[in-house]
Amino acid sequence: MGGGGFSMEPENLALDQFVLSCAAQENPRVVFLPTASGDAEGYIEHFYWAFESLPCQPSHLSLQRREVSDLRSFLLGQEIIYVGGGNSFNMLTLWRAHGVDKILKEAWEKGIVLCGLSAGSVCWFESCLTDSFGPELQAMNDCLGFLKGSHCPHFDSEERRRPTYTQMVKEGKLPPGIAADDGVGLVYRGSDLIETVSSRSTAKAWKVDPSGTATAIEPRILDPVPRDFPAQEES
């Protein structure tokens, strides 16, 4: 997801409900990986606030305060692995230190649904545009590499994303790839893009070719999924 989901659209859980529908099982086990946020407690609470209202069995995995000894058994026992946003570089570094990167590759090969937004979206590709190193957007060419090419989230919501991404692809600093406006989900089966969906009527995905030209991909608009009860108050 280029952006959206429970953390950006708490009033509309359409993308999150769509993620659950991708699992082969009803009432799937879904684990949240908030690594990129530094395992922020508020982010974890917000995940439970959203997913406890949906037909699933939610849990989370913190690496900063790790309470799971057998990461492989825990992660491979899920139907869905949902990765949150934040600092992509820090997340990938910590995953590699704990061996999570190798487990995620095994999960992907096993057919477990892998998803996420922002940092949790770019991580699956070979390369991405990132703000992990400060306010200036930079190329990062050391992502997990499950999906070929590069990825850029927040294509419509952050002013410098579109011109920086297209220019870096044109200059060869990033390989050609796909960008996503906030609210857009890219659906892959294996390594093939099979569909794009959106919780927002005006949002699009964008295929960016080696010349840096961005061509719109019109997504299927999802029906709204309103939250059943009011959001929790800030503490």
Catalytic positions, written as ranges: 118, 154
3-state helix, strand, coil in the chain (%, to 5): 25, 25, 45
Angle at 146 between CA 221 and CA 27, to 5 degrees: 55
Cα dist from 46 to 60, 76, 167, whole Å: 12, 24, 36
Burial of 73 (0-12, 13-18, 19+ CB in 10 A): exposed
Query: What gap in Å lies between CA 62 and CA 212, rounded to an integer?
Result: 38
